[in-house]
Every structure is written in C-alpha cells, then in structure tokens.
C-alpha cells in the first residue's frame, strides 16, 4: 500500500512468517518502510567444521585425491566467500594410522595448513 489515501505506507502479508522467504521479505519491508533506519547488514559468517579428520578405520580415511578435492572446494568457495577456510579438528593420536595412501593424505593435509 503506497499510502495514497492516508499517507501511511504499508506492506501486507497474507500469510504467516513460517515460510523462510516471508521472513526475508519482512526484514526487507522493515528496511524499505524505515528508509534504511531498520536495516540489517548483509554480512554473514560461515563455518564448515570437519572434526576428527585423522580418526577413522583403515580404508575409510582421506587419500591424496580426497585432500586435493577438499582444497579445490575451499578455493572455489573463497571466490564467493573471501577468506573462507575449512575448520579441521584432529586428534594427533591417529595421525598416520591408515594405509600408505591414507597416510599420504595426512601428509598433504599438513602441507597445506595456513
């Protein structure tokens, strides 16, 4: 409602706010109607936590190709989310407890720590 009759602009919702898009539209409506005074920042924080990266039975752990794919995915995400890094948790007790291929994967992971 542009407020042509009473001078009060309105945004009307014909449904509840359970649908995620309606929640976004409500926030956008508040920003629009308040001329930016009730705006929320579009900055969002994202974290992908991979826990116990070295823990696992033999033949189930990361190999070289898996680690390279993880690094490539991290780089691809960084094009959209600057500074993005996977958060890897580990238990050093299980380091190099896989097959020779999996132990190579452990080494490549550590070579790419920064």
> The whole model's pTM is what?
0.63
Structure tokens at 64: 């070289």
Same domain, 16 and 60: no
Span 8-49, pLDDT tens digits: 988 888 888 999 999 989 999 999 999 989 988 877 788 899
User: Range of 25's domain?
Assistant: 1-43
pLDDT at residue 114 greater than cutoff 90: no
Residues 3, 39 within the same domain: yes
Based on the fold, state whether residues 63 and 99 are members of the same structural domain. Answer: yes
Total number of domains in the chain:
2
Q: Are residues 96 and 65 in the same domain?
A: yes
Q: 53 and 34, same structural domain?
A: no
Judgement on whether residues 38 and 61 belong to the same structural domain of the protein: no
In a shared domain, residues 34 and 54: no
Residue 42 has a pLDDT of 76
**Of 75 and 56, which is predicted with more confidence?**
75
In terms of domains, do 70 and 39 share one?
no
pLDDT digits (tens, 9 = 90+) for 76-108: 999 999 999 999 988 888 899 999 999 999 999
Q: Do 78 and 39 sit in the same domain of this protein?
A: no
Which pLDDT band holds residue 51 (cuts at 50, 70, 90)?
Answer: confident
Quote the radius of gyration of the chain (alpha carbons, Å): 24
The answer on 32 and 18 residing in a single domain is yes
What gap in Å lies between CA 12 and CA 63, rounded to an integer?
Answer: 55
Please answer whether residues 53 and 109 qualify as being in contact, where contact means their C-beta atoms are separated by less than 8 angstroms: yes
């Amino acid at each position: 409602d542009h407020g042509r009759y009473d001078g009060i602009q309105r945004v009307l919702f014909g449904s509840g706010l359970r649908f995620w898009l309606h929640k976004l539209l409500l926030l956008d409506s508040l920003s629009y109607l308040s001329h930016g005074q009730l705006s929320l920042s579009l900055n969002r924080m994202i974290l992908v936590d991979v826990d116990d990266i070295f823990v696992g039975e033999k033949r189930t752990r990361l190999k070289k190709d898996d680690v390279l794919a993880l690094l490539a995915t991290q780089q691809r995400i960084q094009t959209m989310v600057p500074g993005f890094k996977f958060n890897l948790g580990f238990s050093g007790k299980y380091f190099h407890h896989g097959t020779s291929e999996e132990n190579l994967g452990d080494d490549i992971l550590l070579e790419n720590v920064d």
